[in-house]
C-alpha cells in the first residue's frame, strides 16, 4: 500500500521552514482509494515570494490547524505505507521534522516519482512535475498546491506501475537499493561508479557547471553521507534538485585532497561552498603587549582582516606549536595564553618559568626571549617534499614546500627515488598557497603522519 504525498511550505529546507499545506492520496498499486487534505498553520508569516508561487497567504492559514493538532491523523494515514512523492526526499524531510517537533518518531520506505520516471519513461525533455504531467497527458488542476500536485503525482504513479515491466519499483523498494536517498536527477550509475578512495568530488548542475566541491578520504562514503542526511545542510532541496552529475579527481591522500579542494573552490567559486568562500575555521597565534609592558601571545580564531603570526587548521595544533616555543625559549605559559590561573603560573611553581607572571622578571628581560621566539616564527621554513600514497598501488604522491611555502603537488612512479629539489619540481603541478593551505600544512607538519618527509638543502631551492 502507498501514500502519495505533496506539501507546500514557507521555504526551501526543513530545518528552518514549516509546512503550510498537505495532501495525501492512498493508492493500492492499481488506483487511488482515499484522499486527505488540509491547510496547516505554520506559526509564522508566509513570505511574499511563496504566496506568489502557491497563492497561499498568511491570512488563509490563520485559522488552520497547527501540524501538532493533526499529527495523529497524518501519522495514521502514513502508517505502514510506502511514502511516494515527486522529489520524495523534500517532502519526507519536512514531514519527519514536523513529526519530531510534535514528539513523534516516524520513518517509512520511500519512492521518488522523479527517479522512477527517469528509469521507466526515459528520454523526456524534463522530469519536473509540470513537464512530466504534460508529457504524459495529465492535467494538473491546481499547480503548486498540495491537492492538485498530489493528485497529479498519484496519476503519474498509476501510469508508472502499469509501465514498469522491468521491475524498477520493486528494486527501488529493496532495503539497500539506495534509490530513495539519491538526488532525483542523478543517474544511479554515476553514484555506483564512485570510488572508495581519497579525492575531491564535484557536483554539477544540468548545464554542467560545478555547484559544489568537496573532499573525502572515501569519496563514495562521503557522498552517500550527504544524501542520507547525515549532514543537516544536505536536506536543503535546492542543491538536491540541481545535482545532475558527479565527477571526481583522486588525490591519494587526504592532505592533497584538502589542498586541492581549497584551490578548486577559489578557482570555480561554486555557489554552495559557503564555508571557504566566506568563513573558514582557522586558528592563529597572535602577539600583543599588555599594560605592564610584557609581550604576550594568544591563540584565537582567525577573523577577516586579522594577521596572525602563524595559521593552523585546529586550535590544538596552534596550542601545541606555541607550547614548543614556550618550552624552547623559557616563556611563561600564562603570558602565552596557555594557562589560566590566579597568581603565578604552574611553570613558575615548578621552576620552569622565571617569574614574569608574578612580576619577578622585568618586561625588558622577558621580552628579549619573546623577540627570539618571534624571530623563529618569522624565519623562512624548510624546503621539503611530503611523500605519501598515490592514486594506485604503483604510484606515490608528492607535495612540495619551498622555504615554508606550498608550491605544488603531483604524482610519480613508486619505483623512482627523489634525490633533489630540482627533480622533485618536475613531478608537481604548481599551485598558489592560500591561507587555508598554509594552515593545513602547518598543522600537518607539526605532527606528520603516514608520510615521508624529505628535507632539501636551502641552497638547492634558492
Out of 144, 226, 307, 347, the active site residue is: 144
Q: How far apart are CA 439 and CA 442, in angstroms?
A: 5
DSSP annotation of 360 reads S
Cβ proximity of 3 and 84 under 8 Å: yes
Chain centroid, CA 130 distance in Å? 31
Q: How far apart are CA 275 and CA 265, in angstroms?
A: 10
* DSSP calls for 115-175: HHHHHHSTT-S--SHHHHHHHTT---SSTTSHHHHHHHHHHHHHHHHHH-TT-HHHHHTST
Max CA-CA distance within the chain?
A: 89
- Residue in 244, 222, 228 with CA at minimum distance from that of residue 176: 228
Q: How far apart are CA 261 and CA 313, in angstroms?
A: 14
Extract the C-alpha cell encoding 75: 501519522
> Cell 562521503 sits at which residue?
222
Cβ proximity of 71 and 102 under 8 Å: yes
Q: Which residues contact 358 (CB under 8 A, 6 or more apart)?
A: 343, 344, 348
The reply to whether 26 belongs to the active site is no
Rg (alpha carbons) of the chain, rounded to whole number: 29
Catalytic residues: 144
Amino acid at each position: 500500500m502507498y501514500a502519495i504525498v505533496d506539501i507546500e511550505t514557507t521555504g526551501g529546507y526543513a530545518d528552518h521552514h514549516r509546512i503550510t499545506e498537505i495532501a495525501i492520496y492512498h493508492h493500492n498499486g492499481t488506483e487511488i482509494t482515499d484522499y486527505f487534505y488540509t491547510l496547516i498553520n505554520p506559526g509564522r508569516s508566509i513570505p511574499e515570494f511563496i504566496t506568489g508561487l502557491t497563492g497561499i497567504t498568511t491570512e488563509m492559514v490563520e485559522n488552520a490547524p497547527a501540524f501538532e493538532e493533526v499529527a495523529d491523523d497524518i501519522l495514521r494515514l502514513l502508517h505502514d505505507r510506502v511514502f511516494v512523492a515527486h522529489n520524495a526526499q523534500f517532502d519526507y524531510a519536512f514531514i519527519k521534522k514536523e513529526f519530531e517537533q510534535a514528539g513523534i518518531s516516524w520513518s517509512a520506505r520511500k519512492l521518488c516519482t522523479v527517479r522512477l520516471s527517469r528509469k521507466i519513461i526515459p528520454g523526456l525533455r524534463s522530469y519536473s512535475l509540470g513537464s512530466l504531467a504534460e508529457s504524459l497527458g495529465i492535467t494538473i488542476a491546481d499547480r503548486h498546491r498540495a491537492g492538485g500536485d498530489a493528485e497529479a503525482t498519484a496519476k503519474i504513479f498509476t501510469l508508472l506501475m502499469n509501465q514498469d515491466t522491468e521491475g524498477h519499483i520493486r528494486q527501488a523498494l529493496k532495503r539497500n537499493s539506495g534509490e530513495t536517498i539519491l538526488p532525483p536527477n542523478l543517474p544511479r550509475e554515476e553514484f555506483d561508479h564512485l570510488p572508495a578512495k581519497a579525492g575531491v568530488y564535484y557536483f554539477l548542475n544540468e548545464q554542467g557547471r560545478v555547484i559544489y566541491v568537496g573532499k573525502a578520504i572515501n569519496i563514495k562514503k562521503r557522498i552517500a553521507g550527504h544524501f542520507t542526511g547525515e549532514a543537516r545542510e544536505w536536506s536543503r532541496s535546492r542543491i538536491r534538485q540541481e545535482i545532475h552529475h558527479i565527477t571526481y579527481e583522486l588525490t591519494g591522500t587526504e592532505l592533497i585532497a584538502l589542498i586541492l579542494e581549497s584551490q578548486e573552490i577559489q578557482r570555480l567559486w561554486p555557489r554552495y561552498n559557503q564555508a571557504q568562500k566566506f568563513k573558514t575555521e582557522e586558528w592563529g597565534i597572535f602577539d600583543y603587549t599588555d599594560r605592564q609592558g610584557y609581550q604576550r601571545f594568544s591563540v584565537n580564531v582567525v577573523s577577516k582582516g586579522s594577521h596572525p603570526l602563524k595559521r593552523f587548521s585546529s586550535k590544538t595544533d596552534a596550542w601545541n606549536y606555541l607550547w614548543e616555543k614556550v618550552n624552547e625559549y623559557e616563556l611563561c605559559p600564562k603570558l602565552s595564553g596557555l594557562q589560566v590561573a590566579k597568581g603565578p603560573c604552574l611553570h613558575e611553581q615548578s621552576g620552569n618559568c622565571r617569574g614574569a607572571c608574578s612580576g619577578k622578571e622585568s618586561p625588558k628581560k622577558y621580552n628579549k626571549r619573546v623577540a627570539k621566539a618571534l624571530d623563529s616564527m618569522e624565519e623562512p621554513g624548510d624546503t621539503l617534499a611530503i611523500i605519501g600514497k598515490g592514486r594506485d598501488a604503483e604510484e606515490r604522491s608528492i607535495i612540495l614546500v619551498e622555504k615554508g611555502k606550498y608550491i605544488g603537488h603531483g604524482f610519480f612512479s613508486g619505483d623512482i627515488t627523489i634525490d633533489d629539489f630540482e627533480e622533485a619540481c618536475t613531478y608537481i603541478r604548481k599551485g598558489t598557497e592560500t591561507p587555508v593551505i598554509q594552515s593545513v600544512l602547518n598543522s600537518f607538519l607539526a605532527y606528520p603522519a603516514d608520510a615521508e618527509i624529505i628535507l632539501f638543502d636551502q641552497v638547492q631551492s634558492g
